[in-house]
Amino acid sequence: MAYTGLGLLLIMLLSCMLIKITGDPLRFACTDTSGTSYTTTSNRYLTNVDLLLSSLSSNATTDTGFYNTTIGDGSDTAYGLFLCRSDITTNDCQNCVATAGKELKTRCPSDVTAIAWYDYCMIRYSNQSIFSNLEQDPIFYPYAPKDFFNLEYYNQTVSDLMYKLVRQAAFNSSSPKYYASGVENYFTGYDKVYGLVQCTHDLTKDDCNVCLTGCVYDIPNNIYPKEGGRVLKPSCNLRFEFNSVFFKRTASTLDLPAINSTSLSPSTNSTGTEGKGRSKSTLIILVVTIIIIVIMVIIFIFYQRIEKSKQKHKHEDGDDQSDITNANSLLFNFDTIKVATDNFSDANKIGEGGFGVVYKVPSLCITVRYVTFGMQCKVSNT
């Protein structure tokens, strides 16, 4: 009984390990590069696909991690290939290819074209030649569920690492072929970005570079600001993660220092999406500030003019009041004038003018005018 229980436990552990290695596909498609799904009723072609998948699985023990082959002839020819990650063991590669082949037959039972991406491998088949062709569709962008917390130099750091990996994978002749992995320190000093890129081995160096460069270019618009993500294409793929080591180091693994933050302005985006957003916000703040300053200056000038106008009116009102006061001080009542002119005696009469008769009052040193339309007396400077 003890041995039986131990045996069951080992089987369960091995099953769990196999599930971890293979698991569900990251993405799969039963379509061609145009996104069209074609099915067939040709039993001969479907039989050739079964033989093809079996052949791929059998040859997944090679150290290169890549293999392509054909089964059949004429219109029933089946073309297929697989690509395993260069940092895994041949056993893991074979398990992944075998599992992927079975899954494709279940998900795409009668389709003439199918492709599946797993964590450790990619496998595909078609009724047309897929060898040495740069194919970038269909394309998928699976990403981590959580956002990264510090985005100040997110795109700059990720792009810096991934573009360097692209150049190494495409143009470095060292083994493994068309594969590169690396890590770059983040500007915080305690965060790291891990990256991996890979192309199928049947491409040219230039095609590999084109394929992966396009993947890196797509990161800001399709994965930012997630903690990590992948770009999956038939001819190439990449992956990056913050603070998560997902690959095994090889002799070619890059270790890069943090980018020089003093030479970069925060949030500068190599593709412009993030930087444009921040620059636009800065521009809006600047314009609003200028408008507020202009409005305040206009209000100040207007207030100053109002104050000057008030002071001017106040001064004029003061002068008018002074004139009135002086004029009122020179007016006399009728009885006083009558006594002063000796009851308007002709002896005190000086003459007549347009406003009436003028009298002289020597005792008061004033000149009195008897206005024809009324009595008015006013001091004269005589």
Length of the chain: 382
Give the E-state strand segments of the chain in sequence order: 27-29, 66-71, 78-84, 114-117, 121-126, 179-185, 192-199, 228-232, 236-242, 254-256, 349-353, 356-361, 366-371, 376-377
Would you say domain 154-266 falls under CATH 3.30.430.20? yes
What does the pLDDT read at residue 224?
98
Instruction: Answer yes or no: are the C-beta atoms of 104 and 53 closer than 8 Å.
Output: yes
Which of 249, 251, 270 is closest to 259 using CA atoms?
270
What are the φ and ψ backbone dihedral angles of 114, each rounded to 5 degrees?
-160, 150
What does the pLDDT read at residue 283?
66
What does the pLDDT read at residue 302?
82
We find that the CATH architecture of domain 20-126 is 2-Layer Sandwich (3.30)
CA distance 299 to 294: 9
pLDDT for 210 beyond 90: yes
Lowest pLDDT segment from 160-169, 196-205, 256-265, 333-342 = 256-265
The Cβ of residue 211 has, within 10 Å, a number of other Cβ atoms equal to 26
State pLDDT tens for residues 76-108: 999 999 999 999 999 999 999 999 999 999 999
Same fold, 20-126 and 154-266: yes
Residue 93 Cα distances to 17, 73, 97, 212, 241, angstroms: 13, 28, 6, 22, 22
State pLDDT tens for residues 51-60: 999 999 999 9
State pLDDT tens for residues 19-40: 344 467 899 999 887 788 899 9
Q: Is the pTM of this model over 0.85?
A: no
State pLDDT tens for residues 307-358: 777 776 665 555 554 444 444 444 566 777 777 777 777 777 777 766 677 7
What does the pLDDT read at residue 332?
63
Domain range summary for the chain, segments of one domain joined by +: 20-126, 154-266, 272-304, 334-377
CA distance 150 to 157: 12
3-state secondary structure of 92: helix
What does the pLDDT read at residue 3?
42
Reported confidence tier of residue 275, pLDDT bands at 50, 70, 90: very low
